[in-house]
Amino acid sequence: MLVIIAAFCGEAHAQTTRTMGLRDNTPGVFAFTNAEIVVEPGRHISGATLVVRNGIIEAVSRRVQIPADAAVIDLNGRFIYPGFIDMYSHYGLEDPEENDDQVHWNPQIRSHYSAAANFRPDAKQAGRMRSQGFVVAHSVPAHGLLRGQGSVVSLGEAEANRMIIRRDMSQALSFRRSPLFGRGYPTSAMGGIALLRQSMLDADWYVSAHNTYRANPGLERPETNLALEKLAGARQQGIPFIAETENENWVLRARAISGEFGLELWILGNGHEYKRIDEISRGGHPFILPLNFPSPPDVSTPEQALNVSLEDLRHWYLAPGNPAKVAGAGTTMALTSYGSQDKFLANLRTAIERGLDENAALAALTTTPAAMLGIDNTHGTLATGKAASFVISDKNLFTKESNILQVWVDGEHYPVKPDREEARGKWLLSGYDKLEGASIELEGQANRLRGHIRLDDKRTRLARVSYDNRRLMLGFPGDTLGIQGVVRMSASISGDQLLGIGETASGEFFTWKAGRTEGPAGDPSRNQRSLRPLDLPERFPSMEYGVTAIPEQPRHVVIRNATLWTQGPEGILEGADMLVENGRISAVGIGLTAPRRALEIDATGMHVTPGLIDPHIHSSIAGGVNEVGDAITSETRITDVMDANTVWIYRLLAGGITSATLFHGSANPIGGQNAVIKMRWGQLPDELLIEDAAPGLKMALGENVKGNTSRYPNTRQGVEQIIKDAFEAALEYGTAMEQAQHGQGKLPVRRDLTLEPILEVIRGERKAHVHAYRQDEMLMMIRLADEYGFTIGSFEHTLEGYKIADELREHGAGAVAWSDWSSFKVESYDGILHNARLLNDVGVLTSLHSDNTQLSTRMNWEAAKTMKTGVSEVDAMNFITLHPARIMGIDHRVGSLEVGKDADFVIWEGHPMSTFSIPAQTWVDGRKYFDRETDQALQQEVKQERSMIIARIIEEQQSAARNGQE
Amino acid sequence: MNPNKSNCILTQCFALMKPALLMLSVLIAGQAAAHTPAPPQQRPIAIVNATIHTLTQGVIEEGTVVFDNGRITAVGTNPSIPADAEVIDASGKYVYPGFIHGRTTLGLTEIGRIAVGTDLNELGNINPNIRAQVAFHPASEHIPVAAVNGILTAVSTPSGGTIPGKPAAMMTDGFTWEQMTLKEGIGLSIDWPSMNNTDNYLKALAELQQAFDKARRYKQAREAMEAGQAVFHPTDVRWEAMIPVLNREMPVFISAGEVRQIQAAISWGEKEGLDMVLVGSRDMDLVAGQLAEKGIPVMLSNVISGPARQWEGYGQFYSIPKVLHEAGVHFMIAGDASAAYAYRLPHHAAAAVAFGLPEEEGLKSVTINAARILGIDDRVGSIEPGKDATLMITDGNPLELWTSKEQVFIQGRRIDMTDKHKRLFERYMEKHRQEQL
């Protein structure tokens, strides 16, 4: 500690620390002369002088009177830049112990945690960051959902309290819980978002409850909760919330949740922004961009290359262009070494090579972060009165040939670890008569040198070359050069000079020296030949089968002469036409007249059906499909975590699916709120939603929910009780909310996002979709619903539905079933092929589902299986179109080919229920999203694009190997 | 696809379906609830006026097939019919050989998650002496489900470890496993070890190699002993079980899940001089040319599956049979391994047809080609005199999901067409009747 204090000599007036022993009063006055000073982005002063006094810049200009007390450092044309500010780090923060302070019931909620209070300067880490040009870091807590308060710290080396520049000036949040704090709720991303949302509401409630309590001391005392207090305060003061994001979708999610609560949002980016740059830049939120570019996918063997996706290949190639895209979109952008660490500068230079403007880069490292962090009066530029924290480099710092020579922080010089002396190149020997005028050429990789020695026209390979940064060592048989036996030589390197000793086989000892006459081939990474840019089309999503543009919606489309499965009162029409106008069906019939410019499709010999609807899949959900941290998790929402970047959306279109319900898994008696989407491949997650679908709540009974022995319930009886208890709680909550609105001088009622959707179910405003296999549990659930006066939307899986078809009909619940799944677990043993038939026979609203994305690509075949049990072809088609549409409350939009409905349809080359039939075209909203012929071409494009990028990876690796790069 | 490709045109389908269902209810009403195995064929049966898909001799319109004592005695347009024969008029109907499922857990498990009811995976990695048929549970509910859907031969296959044992070709009707065994030990199963971890792979490979080396030493010693040239060598049931493989009297069925495994398995099998069938699906298309050139038969274990890799076309798996066919590979199709889903077998062949395999090849892949690869084509796989009368009468193309198998015969035995599905269906139809729903 004493050493550190000694190293940091500032004015004694700024600190309270007691001096131990002698005072250090070394003067801190410097004049850096003859410098190329970049005072701020876009402004250079050549041949200028920078004067520093006691950590502060005293002057910077071309004409400066150099103070008499200043130590003069002649920079001889070298560059000075304002020191970089790292906008995101966990610098100086150790991982906290598992939280047992019980500030908040959930250890992931830690808005009260202060980086400043826990800050411990870390000399090693500071050195690493300085080596990349950083002088200041924004240090942000690393753990939890609401992680706590960040601080701005200097990257010098002294006591913590001297290094903190601004404290508690930001809040950090994430969507994933930290594993540091146990394995409890929330286990999923959607649970994380739900807890964030509830915490924001709780913070509002907390303030209002305490205000009410202060005015009415006779009330029940509300809890004390420092986390909620800090959270409420931060929101009130407009303190920025930094959201950690994993990809472009998480940026959108962060934006959505911050929009809900009016947060001042800063986004810690992820490198995937370019994939949706237009949408992402629209928010106007500042970005903090890491430069952690992906390493190339392993394509070292043909079979490895087979397993690499185009998505990963594209990202490898496109990621270095991301900073330029983000900057080019006009977003406020700061950079961080977070994730790239020691590769930051190298990656920054790559980003510049890939289009990032140098001034934009410098601004993103200096003026922009200084302004964001509120330290622009002291940092960010080189100006009189600002902190003397700067970087000296030999050349333009943003070019690959440059090196950082020195970093100064608050007027202190911190040496940057020098590059190892370069041994490679051509050396001319002197000082030893037998080898006078010989030349040594060293090449190869820095740690695996090879070379030869040449005297006149004679040449010998060096049998041994090594260089461990202290001494260069050579060995070779001297006979060719006229020296008998092995010659061994060693030398010190300093710049372009060698100074050495040697010994021959005969025991002759000699000294020698050498000068470098030709430079080394150079750092291969710096000298690498720039390869021609690859011409990759933009794709949405940026992966295999991504579209280059959203398919157009022709004003008019007419399908001619088809076998038209209307699934409406008109049944199946032979030789029929269908007219589509602006994405909606405008006419269905025989011999329709169509506008002259209508796109005409001759469907002679073909069948046209409504787009298929799968009312139950678990695809396109990010961060876990179950929230297993609790039994009742109705607060979780699939809409929070939808992912449109799954190739399955395209594959589902290929199978004729146009709409589907995304459900939670079945780990919970009450799982959460589902989403109903269309397969609008290439669009954003929110754009997939069918907004006016009936809201739903996934519930589950039976084996899956009772299997967790560490959690209630463990029996089917317990399942009934926990659901009943949740219903009671929801009703009581509803009553409390109503009474609170009348204002009776009570504590405010806390909004409860878990109970609200349950209350909506009881009130008939939200459909319950209940996973169930056995008849007993379905009957139990029906009775429970009867008791609370609502109708169950549907049972899901419904394996034994056929055993109580009458009860389902009586109650009015829909039945969503597999065609033929059975016997994979005990409760599925009585699953039979005739289930749908028996349910449909008595008038239960019956639908088929997949619960499995691959199965979902062939729902026509699932329906065909029911035909064998005696279901008519129209009913079988209803099971995968109109009926699921009704169950999901989207039948006003889709499910049949009727006038006014969305033009979601499939063109089949044969009978849609034949095992030999697959879709020829799939249309959504009057846009052709899938075409079998186009798919053939697309498959070729995918192959070509893959081979092009794979070839580039191999090219780069080979060129690196040639240049001796490690 | 052209709708006419299907033998069952829409309207006909339903015309055919109704009587079929009626017949079904009559059958059920007169029988005990449970499926009862059929007695041996009592007298000759002649199915007449049928469209007969022989699979080896083309399609015979208005044809007749006669069988007696369990064997087919005549097939043709007008063969002589024994006087005492029972004549079944199959006008408008079709006759096909029974389907053959090459790789299933049928009879060896009932409910997958119930370990005690499952006999698939013996302890250890090297179990060549395990015989599938002795744990084949005749009362499994899944067996009649397979049978009434036309799966009349099923190869029940142990799994787990490197050598799981010997699969057996089972008939899907009978009172005891012995009666139901069509052919035991159709081959020796080898599950090629995973190549994802080099250490584990080399360890498993060494174990496999050692099994073969030891079996060879054992065979040599025992032969010497039997020839009176050596001292007594006690029995080793494991190596004893491998002698037919070493003698090339029994093939090995090597499962290989990706291209590295496939090529490693081929090289190894060739080095060992084995009679080899490759089992798998993924990446078989990549080496189709080599498979054809070497004449190695392939059992495709799955057709209905999503692409293995994100960049692959959506129909990648479905198209593998077409690629193999076009390359000239001798292949068969096996469907879902799961016992409860054995009956889905024809769907796998049909999906391959939807993605370009000629329809006739689709049918062969689950009948005659399967029989040939499994070494049971002397008994099943086609409608030919001398073969077992293991066949079915259908109301349409049996590759269509909507087609009903109206009656199946195994070795001439008329099989009870009830199964658990139909039994429960009838029970709840009765509930509906009682409640006048």
What is the dotted CATH code of the domain comprising A703-847+854-892? 3.20.20.140
Binding-face residues of B in 281-310 toward A, CB within 8 A? 304-307, 309-310
CB contact at 8 A, A469 and A420: yes
Q: Is B358 on the interface with A (CB under 8 A)?
A: no
Which of A823, A826, A833 minimises the CB distance to B142? A823
Would you list the DSSP string of A329-372? TT--EEEE-TTTGGGHHHHHHHHHHTT--HHHHHHHHTHHHHHH
Contacts A910 to B, Cβ<8 Å: 1-3, 5-6
Number of residues in chain B: 437
Task: Work out the minimum CA distance from B310 to partner chain A, whole angstroms.
Answer: 6
pLDDT band at B3 (very low <50, low <70, confident <90, very high): very low
- C-alpha A728/C-alpha A734 separation (Å) is 10
Q: Which residues, other chains included, contact A55 with Cβ-Cβ below 8 Å and sequence gap of 6+?
A: A10, A11, A28, A387, A388, A410, A411, A412
Which of B111, B304, B428 minimises the CB distance to A823? B111
pLDDT band at A471 (very low <50, low <70, confident <90, very high): confident
| pLDDT exceeds cutoff 60 at B280 | yes
Task: Say whether A917 and B399 touch across the interface (CB within 8 A).
Answer: no
Which of A310, A833, A873 minimises the CB distance to B421? A833
What is the dotted CATH code of the domain comprising A85-197+238-378? 3.20.20.140
Task: Work out the minimum CA distance from B402 to partner chain A, whole angstroms.
Answer: 4
- Mutate which: A916, A941, A942, vs B, most B CBs within 10 A: A916
| pLDDT exceeds cutoff 60 at A492 | yes
- C-alpha B141/C-alpha B345 separation (Å) is 17
Contacts B311 to A, Cβ<8 Å: 309-310, 544, 942-943, 946
Tokens of A75: 């920079």
| pLDDT exceeds cutoff 70 at A520 | no
Beta strands in A674-754 (DSSP E): 675-678, 696-700
| pLDDT exceeds cutoff 60 at B13 | no
Tokens of A884: 């699921």
Query: A554-611+895-925 sits in which CATH class?
Result: mainly beta
Q: Which of A562-576, A731-745, B307-321 has the lowest mean pLDDT?
A: A731-745
Would you list the DSSP string of A272-292? -GGGGHHHHHHT---EEEE--
Domain boundaries, chain B: 3-98+415-434, 99-380
pLDDT band at A421 (very low <50, low <70, confident <90, very high): confident
Question: CB pairs below 8 Å between A and B: how many?
Answer: 159
End-to-end, the C-alpha distance of chain B in Å comes to: 40
- Amino acid B31: pLDDT: 43
pLDDT band at B53 (very low <50, low <70, confident <90, very high): very high
Amino acid at position A715, single letter:
T
pLDDT band at A443 (very low <50, low <70, confident <90, very high): confident
Sign of CA dihedral A352, A353, A354, A355: positive
| pLDDT exceeds cutoff 90 at A1 | no
- Amino acid A238: pLDDT: 96
* Per-residue pLDDT reduced to its tens digit, B368-390: 999 999 999 999 999 999 999 99
3-state secondary structure of A551: coil
Amino acid at position A729, single letter:
A
Task: Work out the minimum CA distance from B431 to partner chain A, whole angstroms.
Answer: 8
- C-alpha A911/C-alpha B31 separation (Å) is 37
* Per-residue pLDDT reduced to its tens digit, A814-825: 999 999 999 999
- Amino acid A99: pLDDT: 60
Mean of per-residue pLDDT scores for chain B: 93
CB contact at 8 A, B42 and B82: no
CB contact at 8 A, B176 and B240: no
| pLDDT exceeds cutoff 90 at A250 | yes
What is the dotted CATH code of the domain comprising A425-521? 2.40.128
Mean pLDDT of A592-604: 96
Residue A152, classified by CB atoms within 10 Å of its CB into exposed (0-12), middle (13-18) or buried (19+), is: buried
Q: How many beta carbons lie within 10 A of that of residue B13, not counting itself?
A: 22
Q: Which of B432, B141, B121, B420 is nearest to A837 (CA)?
A: B432
Contacts B338 to A, Cβ<8 Å: 823-824
| pLDDT exceeds cutoff 70 at B67 | yes
Sign of CA dihedral B142, B100, B313, B7: negative
The ipTM, to two decimals, is 0.92
Block residue for tokens 């369990």: B70
* Per-residue pLDDT reduced to its tens digit, A112-146: 999 999 999 999 999 999 999 999 999 999 999 99
pLDDT band at B359 (very low <50, low <70, confident <90, very high): very high
Tokens of A926: 């009057």
Contacts A805 to B, Cβ<8 Å: 428, 432, 437
Contacts A868 to B, Cβ<8 Å: 401-404
- Amino acid A524: pLDDT: 45
3-state secondary structure of B194: coil
Contacts B110 to A, Cβ<8 Å: 823
pLDDT band at B229 (very low <50, low <70, confident <90, very high): very high
Q: How many beta carbons lie within 10 A of that of residue B2, not counting itself?
A: 12
Mean pLDDT of A433-441: 93
Domain boundaries, chain A: 1-83+380-419, 85-197+238-378, 425-521, 554-611+895-925, 613-692, 703-847+854-892
* Per-residue pLDDT reduced to its tens digit, A280-326: 999 899 999 999 999 999 999 999 999 999 999 999 999 999 999 99
| pLDDT exceeds cutoff 90 at B240 | yes
End-to-end, the C-alpha distance of chain A in Å comes to: 38
Q: How many beta carbons lie within 10 A of that of residue A602, not counting itself?
A: 11
CB contact at 8 A, A502 and A510: yes
pTM of the predicted model as reported, rounded to 2 decimal places: 0.91
- Amino acid A494: pLDDT: 81
More confident residue, B4 or B173: B173
More confident residue, A346 or A531: A346
Give percent above pLDDT 70 in chain A: 96
pLDDT band at A744 (very low <50, low <70, confident <90, very high): low
pLDDT band at A242 (very low <50, low <70, confident <90, very high): very high
Beta bridge partners, B153, equal B100, B171
pLDDT band at A743 (very low <50, low <70, confident <90, very high): low
- Amino acid A497: pLDDT: 87
Query: A1-83+380-419 sits in which CATH class?
Result: mainly beta
Number of residues in chain A: 966
- Amino acid A519: pLDDT: 72
| pLDDT exceeds cutoff 90 at B97 | yes
- Amino acid A168: pLDDT: 96
3-state secondary structure of A74: strand
| Same fold yes or no, A1-83+380-419 and A554-611+895-925 | yes
Mean pLDDT of A181-187: 89
| pLDDT exceeds cutoff 80 at A72 | yes
Task: Work out the minimum CA distance from A909 to partner chain B, whole angstroms.
Answer: 5
Task: Work out the minimum CA distance from A722 to partner chain B, whole angstroms.
Answer: 27
Would you list the DSSP string of A414-450? EEPPPPPPP--EEEEEES-GGGTT-EEEEEEETTEEE
CB contact at 8 A, A683 and A715: no
Task: Say whether A916 and B6 touch across the interface (CB within 8 A).
Answer: yes
Mean pLDDT of A765-771: 98
| pLDDT exceeds cutoff 80 at A850 | yes
Q: Which architecture characterizes domain B99-380 according to CATH?
A: Alpha-Beta Barrel (3.20)
| pLDDT exceeds cutoff 50 at B437 | yes
Instruction: Go through B20-58 and write b for each residue having 16 or more CB atoms within 10 A of its CB, e for each that does not.
Output: beeebeeebeeeeeebebbeebeebbbbbebbbbbbbee
- C-alpha A719/C-alpha A379 separation (Å) is 61
Tokens of A428: 């001319």
Mean of per-residue pLDDT scores for chain A: 93
- Amino acid B21: pLDDT: 41
Give percent above pLDDT 70 in chain B: 92
Q: Which of A822, A795, A821, A801 is nearest to A699 (CA)?
A: A795
* Per-residue pLDDT reduced to its tens digit, A198-217: 999 999 999 999 999 999 98
- C-alpha A346/C-alpha A402 separation (Å) is 10
- Mutate which: A915, A917, A936, A947, vs B, most B CBs within 10 A: A915
Tokens of B29: 């009403």
Mean pLDDT of A583-587: 98
Q: How many beta carbons lie within 10 A of that of residue A445, not counting itself?
A: 14
Fold of B3-98+415-434: Urease, subunit C; domain 1 (2.30.40)
Q: Which of A852, A842, A834 is nearest to A813 (CA)?
A: A842
Task: Say whether B425 and A858 touch across the interface (CB within 8 A).
Answer: no
* Per-residue pLDDT reduced to its tens digit, A89-118: 999 999 887 666 789 999 999 999 999 999
- Amino acid A6: pLDDT: 38
- Give, in degrees to the nearest 5, the angle at Cα A584 between A278 and A885: 95
Mean pLDDT of A61-82: 95
| pLDDT exceeds cutoff 70 at A733 | yes
Task: Say whether B313 and A868 touch across the interface (CB within 8 A).
Answer: no
